[in-house]
Amino acid sequence: MSEKDTITGVKPCPFCGQADISVRSETIPVLGGTGDLQEVTIYQVCCKTCNAEGPSLMVKTTAKHAESEAAVLEQWNQRLGRHKDAPPNLKNCPFCGEQPEVLRDPEPAPILVEIFCSDCGATGPANDKDDLMVLWNKRA
C-alpha cells in the first residue's frame, strides 16, 4: 500500500475539519469475468487526524495513476449540503448523500464498531473513546 502525503486543492475532512489528508493506493489481484486474475488498484482519500475514509475508487492497474488520483480527490471534495431522508439520529453520507450502514459487534453485547456508506465506500472517523454516531454526525 502506498500513501501520498502532499496534496493541494483538497477540502478538509468533513468530520473533523482538519486538512491532514492523504491518498492511499493499493494494488490487488481480483478474479476477472473470464475467470482469470487481473490486477486492480484501489484509491482512497483518508484523514490522518480522525481516520475517516472517503469514497474508494477501483481501477484497472493499467489506468493512469494521476487521473485516478484526481478522480478520487474529486469525490472527496464533493460535499452535499442537504441530507435527504436522513434518520433523526444518523446523518446521511457527506460525500454521496446515501444512508450509511452501522456495523455492530454482537458479542458480548452489541456495540457500535463502524459507520460506513455501502454506496460510495466512505467510513466514519475511527475513535475508541467517543461515540461513533456523534463523530459521524459532526460536520466541519
Cα separation, 77 vs 62, whole angstroms: 25
Q: 16, 138 in Cβ contact below 8 A?
A: yes
pLDDT band at 88 (very low <50, low <70, confident <90, very high): low
Please give the grid coordinates belonging to residue 84: 435527504
Enumerate the domain spans of the chain: 2-137
Collapsed DSSP state (helix, strand, coil) of residue 18: coil
What are residue 24's phi and psi, to 5 degrees? -105, 145
Collapsed DSSP state (helix, strand, coil) of residue 84: coil
The residue that leads in pLDDT, 62 or 70, is 70
pLDDT tens-digit series, residues 32-64: 778 788 888 999 999 999 889 988 888 887 778
Specify which residues 103 forms β-bridges with. Answer: 114
Q: Report the relative pairing of strands 53-60 and 101-105 from DSSP bridges.
A: unpaired
The answer to whether the pTM exceeds 0.85 is no
- Which pLDDT value is given to residue 84? 43
pLDDT tens-digit series, residues 94-122: 888 888 877 666 555 555 577 888 888 88
